[in-house]
Amino acid sequence: MPKLAVMHDYPPRFGVQKTALIAATAGCLAFGFATPSLAAEEESASKDNMCLPAGSVSNISTADASDESSAPVLEEAESNALRIATFDARLSRSASGDLYEDLSAPGAEDAAEVAKVIQQVRPDVLVLTGIDVDAGQETAEAFNTNYLAVGAHDSSGMTYPYSYTSFSNAGVESGADLDRNGTIGGPGDALGYGDFPGQSSMIIYSKYPIETDKIRDFTSLSWSKMPDNSIPDDVTDLERSMLPLASVSHWDVPIEVEGETVHILASSAADASEGANSEERNQDQVRFWEDYLDQNTEYITDHRGNRGPLEDGAQFVIAGSLKADPNGNGPADPTAISSLLDSEAVTDPEPARTLVSSGTQSGESGTPLHTAPDPTSSSSSYRADYVLPSSDMHVLNSGILETDAESRDNYRGFFGMRSNDSANHLVWTDTAIDN
């Protein structure tokens, strides 16, 4: 069996949560957008009162997370399995700070529903996309404490001792008229589509330790550095020099699992229907992961200045919202995603539906892999969200968790969940751990 078959002006954040220590990772990217940070669990509660460097300290109760057996979850993963999931939560607000304010206490209905979906699947590693991270690690802590840890109805709470978030290009002003509307400013002129820095970005939660010193962040990698890129001809030289490839982020976050390392390759790609040059960027953002797995790639440089692709033989899982469908559904060109799925380096688990859709597919048949509503059509859907293990990892199971959108006004849906009729579905994959 195979082995394992945040930079604006934020200072480093530190905090203790009963048995959890929030530690900041080192280094800042050129954009100066946020400071990456992660929550690392300590074995002993004696760490609670330890002296910490300057920063914020928070105490997070995990009392609601102990009774995991009471929740009507999916069939439990096997004892030798690592469950990895991605979920486009669509937890975003129209102004900076609004989501963090909502998450700072229980009671936000949409956040509670997102937490309930996650609690049903209970992944070991979660790539949560579509969430505002303008408050940096504080947002990750608030959602973990006030929503994931809180059980509701038939769902029991859970918490993650480790988390990682970092700066995003979404909403960062470019100073150029990228959308060619005659004015400078607004979401279409940002480095990544968004109304404010960090809007609709990413957080990684993990039950396993994150290897902080080995994280590679490619968020500031220039789009023009990619050979044979798809930058349109009407983009000026100045714009070429400032545009990053990622409209949100590209991260390589190594997780230590039972003595082995699995690299979580996380990204949230451009919506090809939204913003300037979005279709071309989506194509190249998806293609980036195939380049990262190619040992002949030379152009890739991370935030520490280290060059080159993923080390040869490393085990990885590509997870996130790629917003592209190999069958041409949805707004994006299928070329790059088709090539990635056909690569010998990855396994496409082609997850089975957990519940036949009555929401995003509007009763359509023949769309078993679709995870999101098509932003260009109110009556169709497409495959947007992926969990793709490396080909040397043994896939045990996979699925797409659906809720019943028709029952959104009553708690009659799958596992009693309501579903926003515009929501994406959580995708999960179990891979084998060789003990």
Average pLDDT rounded to a whole number, residues 184-192: 96
> Which pLDDT tens digit goes with each residue over 244-266?
999 999 999 999 999 999 999 99
Average pLDDT rounded to a whole number, residues 5-30: 30
**388-425 b/e (C-beta count within 10 Å ≥ 16 → b):** bbbeebbbbbbbbbbbbbebbeeeebbbbbbbeeebbb
Q: Output phi, psi for 405, to 5 deg.
A: -65, -25
% of the chain residues with pLDDT over 70: 74
% of the chain residues with pLDDT over 90: 68
Amino acid identity at 75: E
Is residue 169 within 8 A of residue 246, CB to CB? The reply is yes
pLDDT confidence of 412, banded at 50, 70, 90?
A: very low
Average pLDDT rounded to a whole number, residues 15-25: 30
- How far is it, in rounded angstroms, from Cα 202 to Cα 386? 15
Average pLDDT rounded to a whole number, residues 354-366: 37
Angle value at C-alpha 99, between 94 and 84, nearest 5 degrees: 115
- How far is it, in rounded angstroms, from Cα 8 to Cα 32? 5
- How far is it, in rounded angstroms, from Cα 57 to Cα 55? 7
Greater confidence (57 vs 121) lies with 121
Greater confidence (55 vs 97) lies with 97
Write down the H helix ranges in 275-385.
278-292, 335-342
The pLDDT, as a whole number, for residue 4 is: 44
> Which pLDDT tens digit goes with each residue over 265-289?
999 999 999 999 999 999 999 999 9
Provide the pairing of β-strand 20-24 with 37-41: antiparallel
The pLDDT, as a whole number, for residue 322 is: 98
Per the listing, tokens 């891979």 go with 431
Average pLDDT rounded to a whole number, residues 65-76: 47
pLDDT confidence of 396, banded at 50, 70, 90?
A: very high
Average pLDDT rounded to a whole number, residues 29-49: 37
Q: DSSP readout, 101-143?
A: HHHTSS--HHHHHHHHHHHHH--SEEEEEEE--TTTHHHHHHH
Q: Which residues, in sequence order, are CB contacts of 416 under 8 Å at separation 6+?
A: 153, 154, 155
Q: Output phi, psi for 417, to 5 deg.
A: -95, 140
Q: 312 pairs with which residues across the strands?
A: none
Among 117-126, 191-200, 372-381, the minimum mean pLDDT is found in: 372-381
- Check the CA dihedral 36-39-44-46 and report its sign: positive
pLDDT confidence of 9, banded at 50, 70, 90?
A: very low
In this predicted structure, the answer to whether residue 2 has a pLDDT above a threshold of 90 is: no
Is residue 46 within 8 A of residue 348, CB to CB? The reply is no
What domains appear along the chain, each with residue ranges and CATH number?
15-432 (3.60.10.10)
In this predicted structure, the answer to whether residue 192 has a pLDDT above a threshold of 80 is: yes
Q: Which two tokens stand for residue 119?
A: 């609690």
Provide the pairing of β-strand 315-321 with 260-268: parallel
Q: Which residues, in sequence order, are CB contacts of 322 under 8 Å at separation 6+?
A: 267, 269, 282, 285, 286, 337, 384, 385, 386
In this predicted structure, the answer to whether residue 170 has a pLDDT above a threshold of 80 is: yes
Dihedral angle, C-alpha 266, 272, 278, 280, nearest 10 °: 90
- How far is it, in rounded angstroms, from Cα 191 to Cα 384? 22
Conformation bin of residue 330: beta by default, left when phi > 0, alpha when psi is -120 to 50 = left
- How far is it, in rounded angstroms, from Cα 131 to Cα 143? 10
The pLDDT, as a whole number, for residue 165 is: 97
Average pLDDT rounded to a whole number, residues 86-113: 96
Burial class (CB in 10 A: 0-12, 13-18, 19+), 8: middle
Q: Which residues, in sequence order, are CB contacts of 271 under 8 Å at separation 6+?
A: 193, 278, 282, 323, 331, 375
Average pLDDT, whole number, for the chain?
80
